[in-house]
Amino acid sequence: MRTTVNHSLKHPENFKQQLLCWSQQFDDVIWLDSNKHKDKYSSYDAILAVDAFTSLKTDCFDAFGRLAEYQSSTKDWVFGYLTYDLKNTTERLTSKNFDGLDFPELYFFQPKKLFLFKDNTVEVQYLKMIDDEIKNDLLDIENFNNPTIEESKNSIKIKLRIHKDEYFEKVNTMLAHIQRGDIYEANFCQEFYAEESVINPIDTFTKLNKISKPPFATFLKIEDKYLLSATPERYIKKEGDLVISQPIKGTAKRSIDKAEDIKLAEGLSKDQKERSENIMIVDLVRNDLSHTAAKGSVKVEELCKVYSFLQVHQMVSTISSRISEDVKPIDILRTTFPMGSMTGAPKISAMKIIEDLEETKRGLYSGSVGYFTPNGDFDFNVIIRSILYNETKKYISYSVGSAITTKSDPLKEYEECLIKAKAMREVLEN
């Protein structure tokens, strides 16, 4: 049973920064921030979950079965992540590429301490509270007055896992697969990395969030492993019997010139290649949702709508379904994961080809971070536009990708990757 206190905030943004700094004393931290984006499907403006009371850490073997057991038996708030490589538990697939990060393939925890932000109020929920613990913690947080965050001052030298000429060769190989009819579309990704490098995770996340302001910003700390994410994409959300998925496919750069910026957004909305990429993934998501949907309930709520973020314009579609009472929350994740926007179509063939051509195990990149509520609702994002960091190994990684279709030009795909990588590189090198 949780003890709940509602706390009014005079300066919510200051309190949020103080709270994130205060949270670093714990080994298990998940911070989710909407950055004030107006999303009709959002339940909270921001959430912090810290300090594991119970947890589940596992590899791919029966991962969703073990998560289902953990979530249903806990009957409480549960936060965590799914790595892309859980594809190996839903299909007969493998992941043998290089992994410099060593994140567990699935990790969820039941937080002792939970902070739920809405407007100018934070709802604080504590499990197994001791005396005046909430009151004392709130005082401690508010005493983090203008906390000084040590900047990451070490020089970071970014390396490419796949160099430009090799990238072109791999894209051409994928195009040959498309021409043979093996696939229609696949999301091909490449890693940028730094070895023997040290960063301050809070400082790096703060900078990345400031220049991106995405609707699904995520800071995750699991002992010595960190995710610093400026992702704009929702994977899937369940609220009651309603399920929503919002894949992103289609990217255009921003311009500081207002007239040119409008033209870039309009150009993206009319670009037939980008629209075809998006529509193919919409069809894939519709098919995935149909596995758990009530008959005739899968609908496309919004098709190929362009949204503008600080770094890029993106084409987003929204697909919904209704489920019956006998559908378990994990069943929805199991039948839709990995998300279509990060795989391709047909999904299994695309994942096999991706594995052969990519050089790095994706891990948490292309995976998802999110939470379950006590009644079995959930909300999960897509981990893109993110920096991953293993503090012990001093290994920093960020990956970017693009959808390869029959109309793809290898040079333009490479340039799209550089646009997506811009924010991460800027944060790490400056």
Catalytic residues: 233, 249
- The sign of the torsion formed by the CA atoms of 235, 222, 239, 20 equals negative
CB 1, CB 198: distance < 8 Å: no
Q: Token pair 């920096």 is at which residue? A: 387
Residue 315 CB partners (closer than 8 Å, separation 6+): 248, 249, 250, 251, 268, 269, 274, 275, 278, 304, 305, 306, 307
Q: Which residues of 95-129 are buried (b: 16+ CB within 10 A; e: fewer)?
A: bebebbbebbbbbbbbbbbbbbbeeeebebbbbeb
Task: Tell me if 75 sits within 8 A of 374, measured CB to CB.
Answer: yes
First to last CA, the chain: 46
CA distance 112 to 99: 31
Q: What are phi and psi of 60, to 5 degrees?
A: -70, -25
Burial 252-261 (b: 16+ CB within 10 A, else e): bbbeeeeeeb
3-state secondary structure 273-324: HHHHHHHHHHHHHHHHHHCCECCCCCEEEEEEEEEECCCEEEEEEEEEEEEC
Locate 406 and state its tokens. 């029959």
Residue with tokens 């709802």, as numbered in its chain: 123
- Dmax (CA) of the chain: 67
CB 281 within 8 A of CB 247: yes
Task: Specify which residues 243 forms β-bridges with.
Answer: 238, 321
- Type of residue numbered 398: Y
What is the residue type of 5?
A: V
CA–CA separation, 203 and 197 (whole Å): 15
